[in-house]
Amino acid sequence: MSSNHHRGLIGPSSGEIEHVYYLSEHFGALHLNEDYSDIILKVDDQKFHAHKVILAARSEYFRALLFGGMRESKQSEIELKGTSIEAFKGLLKYIYTGHMSLAPLKEDVVLDILGLAHQYGFVDLETAISDFLRQALSLTNVCAIFDAARLYQLHYLTRVCASFMDSHAMQLITHETFAQLTPGGLKELLERDSFYAPEVDIFRAVVDWAKINGPELESVLSTVRLQLMTVSELLNVVRPLRLVTPDTILDALTLRTTCRDS
């Protein structure tokens, strides 16, 4: 029995011939091959030989860049600024082969590739990476993934991350990676009614977060529900730090009393 038959490439009874394997193999052979290369992509100080027609066929971004009449369409070398070299290596291989192995990569590289997939319009790759990250969530990476999902408007991944955070709220606010959350990500998280931990512990976590992300403290503190704290916590934990005005503390005490009496 021929190797072609084993690969399922030929179906003689139907008259259909499918040599996609060979097509992929031949395109893959051009990856980083200087033969017939007509464009050099420069990332940091490293140069990658590529082929305009392949880049354009795979990405509307590159199609516009290389054939859309932009200045770059007349250049033989294009510098891609603000691009992670490790992430770009992975993406370029994917462009030529349609293959990418995420498991061996560091999580920050995977997130960088996700960013490039979003930037260059590789929707299927973006979806595949999102699915991979969704299955790999942990306390160590959920904050970074949550912020990336918000940034790239990956709504399903954002919801999955938020649900994971809801289920591990107390562990999360005491984890070292909590400080990595962006101000917008932290505010969105704290505004969720389903994200529950004792409010005084949330307050302490926000104070610790502010030691690294100080300028945004005021806007983030506004999401902490002071009225859910006890009188002792407001007077002995919140007030001494002088991060909240006396009027705000008084309002919280008043609201707490009103809610208790109603």
Query: 146-157: per-residue pLDDT in tens?
Result: 999 999 999 999
User: Does 155 fall in a domain?
Assistant: no
Residue bearing the bigger pLDDT, 2 or 63: 63
pLDDT at res. 2: 46
Q: What is the DSSP-derived secondary structure letter of residue 181?
A: S
d(CA 70, CA 223): 45
3-state secondary structure 206-258: HHHHHCCCHHHHHHHHCCCCHHHCCHHHHHHHHHHHCCCCHHHHHHHHHHHHH
Higher pLDDT pick, 233 / 27 = 233
Q: In the predicted model, what is the mean pLDDT of the chain?
A: 91
Of 218 and 12, which is predicted with more confidence?
Answer: 218
Q: What is the pLDDT of residue 11?
A: 57
Q: How many domains would you assign to the chain?
A: 2
* Distance between CA atoms of residues 100 and 132, nearest Å: 12
Residue 157: φ, ψ to 5°:
-65, -40
According to the model, what pLDDT value does residue 29 have?
Answer: 84
Rounded to whole angstroms, the Cα distance separating 52 from 58 reads 10
More confident residue, 194 or 214: 194
- The residue type at 36: Y
Asked if residue 112 lies in contact with residue 43, where contact means CB atoms within 8 angstroms, the answer is no
pLDDT digits (tens, 9 = 90+) for 106-138: 999 999 999 999 999 999 999 999 999 999 999
Cβ-contact 21, 3 below 8 angstroms: no
Q: Which of 3, 40, 19, 31 is nearest to 99 (CA)?
A: 31
- 149 assigned to some structural domain: no
Task: Say which residue, 177 or 11, is predicted with more confidence.
Answer: 177
Closest CA to 91 of 64, 141, 128, 65: 128
pLDDT at 10 over 80: no
pTM of the model: 0.86
Q: Which domain holds residue 25?
A: 1-30
In a domain, 235, yes or no: yes
Domain annotation covers residue 6? yes
Q: What is the pLDDT of residue 34?
A: 86
> Taking residues 6-33, what's their average pLDDT?
74
Give the tens place of pLDDT for each residue, 210-239. 999 988 888 999 999 999 999 999 999 999
Question: Is 52 inside any structural domain?
Answer: no
Lowest-pLDDT range of 142-146, 159-163, 183-187, 216-220: 216-220
Measured at the CA of 70, the angle between CA 69 and CA 73, to 5 degrees, comes to 80
Residue 230 placed within a domain: yes
pLDDT at 210: 94
- What's residue 7's pLDDT? 52
pLDDT at residue 1, as a whole number: 44
Query: Does residue 163 form part of some domain?
Result: no
Residue 9 lies in a domain: yes
47-104 residue pLDDT tens: 999 999 999 999 999 999 999 877 877 788 999 999 999 999 999 999 999 999 999 9
